[in-house]
């Protein structure tokens, strides 16, 4: 018996998974939530074998939910379902600690297999719809190579706690130019701010 938690804001999707129960009486939906926050609150007091979550959700999205879940020490297998075939989302989900990543347009049969695989501890990414792990790595490498020396220098100095003005005087550029560079770095690393960019740079080993 596999105990399943479903986190999705779309009742239809939740129902679709409940529906799946009927074709596999080994499945048992023990928890439903319509967003990550609700999920986090409910999850604590349950024996759960797999969490299936959407990414696009109000209040607390799937990636943030996953991040917080892992942060809280919970290692329950998480299968991420998403409507969009977005490379970035996949990378984020993997980094946040998901065990599986599927598009919602998958067949029920495949979802069935995926749930069993992920619940039993496997990692699963649908190859037809998503880039392979190699692709993800390749993407990182491409990204790494496209970060110029100046940009790396700026990342290092930002990591050391320098502000734009200080970075500017360190490498003899105007502080407005540093801002431009930082913006370019954020774009290249797909980061939202310098903090995230520096973290990624460290994780990718480029600084």
Partner DNA sequence: ATAAGAAAATGACTTTTGGCACTATGGCAA
Partner DNA sequence: TTGCCATAGTGCCAAAAGTCATTTTCTTAT
Range 155-194, binding its own copies (CB under 8 A): 156-163, 166, 169-171, 191-194
| Residue 135 CB neighbour total at 10 angstroms | 13
Q: Report which of 72, 74, 77, 22 is spatially closest to residue 49, judged by C-alpha positions.
A: 77
d(CA 159, CA 144): 17
Q: How far is the CB of 95 from its own copies (least distance, A)?
A: 9
Site string for its own copies, 73-92 (x = CB under 8 A): --------------------
- Mind giving me the DSSP string for 178-197? HHHHHHHHHHHHT-SSHHHH
Q: How far is the CB of 39 from DNA (least distance, A)?
A: 20
Note whether 172 binds DNA by CB under 7 A. yes
List the single partner that 23 binds among DNA, its own copies, none, CB under 5 to 8 Å by kind. Answer: none
Site string for its own copies, 5-44 (x = CB under 8 A): --------------------------------x-------
Q: How far is the CB of 177 from its own copies (least distance, A)?
A: 17
- Mind giving me the DSSP string for 18-65? HHHHTT-TTEEEEEEESSHHHHHHHHTTS--SEEEEESS-SSS-HHHH
Note whether 23 binds DNA by CB under 7 A. no
């Amino acid at each position: 018996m596999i105990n399943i938690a479903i986190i999705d804001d779309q009742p239809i999707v939740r129902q679709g998974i409940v529906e799946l129960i009927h074709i596999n009486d080994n499945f048992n939906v023990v928890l439903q939530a319509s967003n990550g926050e609700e999920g986090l609150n409910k999850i604590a007091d349950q024996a759960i074998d797999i969490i299936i979550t959407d990414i696009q959700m109000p209040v607390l999205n799937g990636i943030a939910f996953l991040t917080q879940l892992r942060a809280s020490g919970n290692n329950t297998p998480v299968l991420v379902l998403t409507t969009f075939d977005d490379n970035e989302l996949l990378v984020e989900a993997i980094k946040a600690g998901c065990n599986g990543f599927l598009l919602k347009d998958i067949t029920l049969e495949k979802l069935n297999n995926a749930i069993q695989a992920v619940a039993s501890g496997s990692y699963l990414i649908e190859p037809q719809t998503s880039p392979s792990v190699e692709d993800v790595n390749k993407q990182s490498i491409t990204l790494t190579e496209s970060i110029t020396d100046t940009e790396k220098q700026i990342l290092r100095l930002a990591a050391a706690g320098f502000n734009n003005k200080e970075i500017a005087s360190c490498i003899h550029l105007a502080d407005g130019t540093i801002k431009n560079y930082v913006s370019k770095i954020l774009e290249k690393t797909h980061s939202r701010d310098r903090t995230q960019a520096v973290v990624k740079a460290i994780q990718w080993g480029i600084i």
